[in-house]
Amino acid sequence: MKNSKKTFRFIAIAALVNMAGLCRAQSSGQPHYGALEYSLPLLTIVPPSYSGEPANISAAYLLLDLAMRRYSWDTTDKFLGQMAWGDTAKYVTGMIYNVMHDNPIAFAQWEGWHQGYINSPGHAMVSLLNRLWNACPDTGRTEELVRSAIIADVMVVDTFGVFDPTAALARNDVLVTCQILDSIKGKYVTSCPSIYKSHKKGATPQSADTPQPTFAVPAVPGSCLQFEYSLEWSRTPSPGGDVGRGLNPLYDSVNGTWIKPGTEYIVFLQFQGIGGDSANFYFTTWPLLQGTCAGMYPVKSGIVYDPNDDFGIGASSGLTVSVWKSRLRARISTLTGE
């Protein structure tokens, strides 16, 4: 019985690896016409580690690494298809949340690894996300918290509009540059390359991006944080993640852009893979694109705009920023056990 539980735990851990949403393609980088594209070098050894890494994080990576080497796609999929929301699922969910929180950049680098593995972290995590959405009885709230690579309270410094000629519907992209006020998830964020920080306001045609190298920097108050979004993406909740349909797009009530300079937001961000080659993988940073604000909650007169109470924290009647964050952290603590 003990060995059986250990086996299930290994498989469940393996299934949770792609939570950051960044899958590395086995080909050269694909052209990206949006507002933001990063590059990160592939790891040379796995699992990732650093001097002073907490013991629980090191142990989690060792288990994840072993799971990727031991359990096939079919074994993982079969297990996940039968997984209920019980002790094993809760244990693994909390473990993965903590690993991502420790360093979402390192987690993304590890997620692109495949040498020596019989399973794909990306495949396992897609399967897990689908199962977690259905198995956890909280209408996707746990899935959203774990899938987010970065959750932060930010002040928007600048926005820059670009035009994507390749998109069928979502052609108007916006680069958002923020200053972190308070980090909720993610002890590190991607650095802001100077080419993006020097953008001028105004919409211009955009050719394919040249990927800009990035690296992890501490997510402390005052740090720069950037992401991109499309004005045509929908704010209508969609478990399938289909956001490019133009329903309830990301404009405000007077047809202005959803994100405005000089305004505070609480953002839920994910890494979106673009492609990869033998040395690097390429990605951008998107909002989570779930919930009634697509993962970008404006703060209006000190109140977090969360009209549908997306995380079940009593926000529909209006909560101050400090109370909203406190209740969200309390919900997160039920996942992490901290």
- The mean pLDDT values, 10 residues at a time, for the chain of 338 residues are 39 37 42 81 87 93 89 85 84 88 91 81 73 76 91 95 74 91 97 73 51 93 95 66 58 77 96 85 90 91 94 93 98 86
Q: Where are the domains of the chain?
A: 2-147, 150-321
C-alpha radius of gyration, the chain, whole number: 19
- Residue position matching structure tokens 């109370």: 323
> Which residues are CB-neighbours of 167 under 8 A, at least 6 positions away?
33, 230, 232, 244
Structure confidence at residue 115 (pLDDT):
82
For residue 59, CA distances in Å to 54, 99, 220, 279 come to 9, 10, 26, 27
Structure confidence at residue 153 (pLDDT):
98
Structure confidence at residue 198 (pLDDT):
64
> What are the tens digits of pLDDT across the range 160-190?
888 777 777 777 889 999 999 999 999 999 9
Structure confidence at residue 54 (pLDDT):
94
Structure confidence at residue 255 (pLDDT):
63
> Which residues are CB-neighbours of 211 under 8 A, at least 6 positions away?
29, 32, 37, 38, 39, 274, 280, 282
Structure confidence at residue 252 (pLDDT):
67
